[in-house]
Structures are given as C-alpha cells and as structure tokens.
C-alpha cells in the first residue's frame, strides 16, 4: 500500500524547509541541543493543551513538528520514511483500526 | 507562498491514517493520556538519539510523529495548518535561512 495524495503539504517538503531555514544554525548547535529544544517545545505544547487557546495549541503543534523535522535533518533521517511504519495501520498488530 | 509538492507523503494523509487506526481508542483514553504517551515517546526518541541505532532512531521519529498526529486529531486541529507557521521560513524573523 502507498499513501494516497490529497494535495496538501508533504512532510518531506516541510522537512526540507526546516533544513533551509534552520539547518546551518541547528547543525552548529549540535544534536543534544536540538533534543533539548524539542523537549522544551513539547513542554510548551503540553501547557497549551492543558490551558491554552486553540491558536496557542496550533502554534505549539507547529513548533514541535518543526523541531522534530530539524532533529531528523541532523540525524540525516527522513520523517517520510519514519511515517512508513504506520502505512498499513498499527505497526504492532498490522490492523487499522488497531486491534492491539 | 504555497508549499510545492514532491509526490511524497502528505501530512494530512498521515494524520487521517492515525485517526482511522487509533482515533476511537485514543478518544476514549482522553487528551491528557495522549499527552502522556507523546511525552513517553519523546523520551524514547531522546534515548535512541543518544545511544540507539539509525533504525531505532527512525522508529522513534515515526512514533513521535504518530502521537503528535493523534493529539492533533483529538484537539480537532490540523498539523498541515500548524506547519503553515513556517511556510515562509522562520515565524519570528520571516527569513529563510533564519536571521534571528
């Protein structure tokens, strides 16, 4: 099975945009610093989910996605390939909906 | 500016796949439980980055992306829309590469 397309944003396009926008700076900071930033953004997302507005939640979802993409770039790994793990549904039981 | 397409996985397609695969179960667990799962996966990713193989890192990147999508589903928010924040580069300075 392959992914159908619905003419929206492709994850690889987003990851490439992050490479252009932040690649040089994040590369200079190094992987551990990027993990730390991602963890910080994760905390901001958790806070927004608990007591933020929808706009704040959307903002923080975007930031976590951005730092996740930046980390993938530094690891030279593709988020598109990472998502393949779920292409047929749950990677553990192989079903969609999951039957685990 | 809009996103160009490169015929890869679209983020909305992935988010929809997560809704079909895990939506009912995650919805029953509730948002705080999903935040907790996402935090757990974030920890597994950090561990894989520090001392895992490339395959393990790819696996954990996929899991974080999956739980992020599942959280977005439960919040009724679109990761595609969340990514729009970065469509022109850095949301703070407006440049790509970032000049902050």
pLDDT of residue B52: 98
Q: Are B25 and A98 in contact (CB under 8 A)?
A: yes
Chain B contact set for A72 (CB, 8 A): 61
Structure tokens at B42: 């974030």
Query: How many Å lie between the alpha carbon of A45 and the closest alpha carbon of chain B?
Result: 9
Dihedral sign computed on CA atoms, order A74, A36, B74, B31? positive
Q: Is the ipTM of this complex over 0.85?
A: yes
Per-residue pLDDT of A12-46, as tens digits, reads 999 999 999 999 998 899 999 999 999 999 999 99
- Give the 3-state secondary structure of A51-84: HCCHHHHHHHHHHHHHHHHHHHHHCCCCHHHHHH
Chain B contact set for A90 (CB, 8 A): 21-22
Q: Are B13 and A89 in contact (CB under 8 A)?
A: no
pLDDT confidence band for A1 (50 / 70 / 90): very low
Query: How many Å lie between the alpha carbon of B21 and the closest alpha carbon of chain A?
Result: 4
pLDDT of residue B6: 62
**pLDDT, mean of residues B5-10:** 76
Rounded to the nearest integer, the mean pLDDT of chain A is 92
User: Smallest Cα–Cα separation from A7: which of B84, B4, B73?
Assistant: B4
The percent of residues in chain A predicted with pLDDT above 90, rounded, is 84
- Residue of A61, A66, A76 to mutate when probing chain B, most B C-beta within 10 A: A61
User: Smallest Cα–Cα separation from B14: which of A46, A94, A41, A81?
Assistant: A81
With an 8 Å Cβ cutoff, are A42 and B46 in contact?
Answer: no
pLDDT at B39 over 90: yes
């Amino acid at each position: 099975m392959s992914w159908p397309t619905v003419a929206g944003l492709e994850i690889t396009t987003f990851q490439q945009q992050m490479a252009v926008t932040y690649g040089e700076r994040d590369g200079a900071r190094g992987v551990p610093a990027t993990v730390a930033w991602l963890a910080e953004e994760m905390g901001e997302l958790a806070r927004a989910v608990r007591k933020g507005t929808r706009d704040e939640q959307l903002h923080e979802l975007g930031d976590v996605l951005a730092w996740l993409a930046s980390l993938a770039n530094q690891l030279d790994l593709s988020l598109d390939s990472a998502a393949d793990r779920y292409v047929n549904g749950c990677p553990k039981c192989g079903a969609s909906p999951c039957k685990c």
